[in-house]
Amino acid sequence: MVDDRSVTLELAARHEWPEFTRQLQEAFAVAVIEQFGALSDGPIPSEDDVQRSLAAPGAVVHHVVSGGERVGGAVVTIDPVTQCNSLDFFFVAVGAHGRGLGLAAWRAIERHYPQTRVWQTHTPYFERRNIHFYVNKCGFKIVEYFSDRHPDPHQPDGDGDPSHGGPPHGGFFKFEKLAMPA
């Protein structure tokens, strides 16, 4: 297992975003293919969804680094006023799973943003590994479930998809984590 302090964050420069996007889509594809057999409508999340997230106000794009090697990435949106921040995309690169990098990377994110009061994130209903990771490893709580019957009011398409990949109308869990006081 990886020592938490050996995993760090490195800002991703804009010219690195295409490769970052490719690796993110490759990592997300694993679960979709396991669950549904194939990617029927192109990469997940879509290029547009990723680009919108990378360029959003307050977005910060990080490479996750371990042993000098980029082993994943994260896109966070930081609100310096409310310190209600979101983990928009988070991935461990294909081939780097099973070494404790995800939890070490999450802890690096928490160390990097110590002023955060609340973290929020989403994951598709079928992604049991993510649900386990966020709830049992990272300490998030499931606070809402979005679907076609209960759409996310912040999403213009109203289908419950918070633009984080996955099949439309499939549903997403919303997670929150209250940060520990320093």
Mean pLDDT of 36-53: 83
pLDDT digits (tens, 9 = 90+) for 60-81: 999 999 999 999 999 999 999 9
Tell whether the model's pLDDT for residue 181 goes beyond 70: no
Q: Can you tell me the distance from the alpha carbon of 86 to that of 101, in angstroms, rounded to the nearest whole number?
A: 20
pLDDT at 77: 98
The pLDDT-based confidence of 4 (bands split at 50, 70, 90) is low
- Res 106: pLDDT: 97
- Domains present along the chain, CATH in parentheses: 4-178 (3.40.630.30)
For residue 148, pLDDT over 60 is answered with yes
> What's residue 39's pLDDT?
63
Contact 71, 56 (CB under 8 A): no
Kindly report the average pLDDT of the chain as a whole number.
87
Higher pLDDT, 149 or 15: 15
| The pLDDT of residue 165 | 42
Which two three-digit tokens encode residue 34?
């396991």
Asked if the model's pLDDT at residue 159 lies above 50, the reply is no
Share above pLDDT 70 across residues of the chain, in percent, rounded to a whole number: 87
pLDDT score, position 163 = 41
Phi, psi of 111 (to 5 degrees): -65, -35
| Coil vs helix vs strand at 121 | strand
Closest by Cα among 39, 94, 87 to 72: 94
Report which of 81, 59, 61, 56 is spatially closest to residue 72, judged by C-alpha positions.
61
pLDDT (mean) for 41-68: 92
Whether residue 164 is predicted with pLDDT greater than 80 in this model: the reply is no
Around Cβ 136, how many Cβ atoms within 10 Å? 9
Q: Order across the sheet with 69-77: list the strands.
A: 7-11, 59-66, 69-77, 84-92, 118-124, 172-178, 141-146
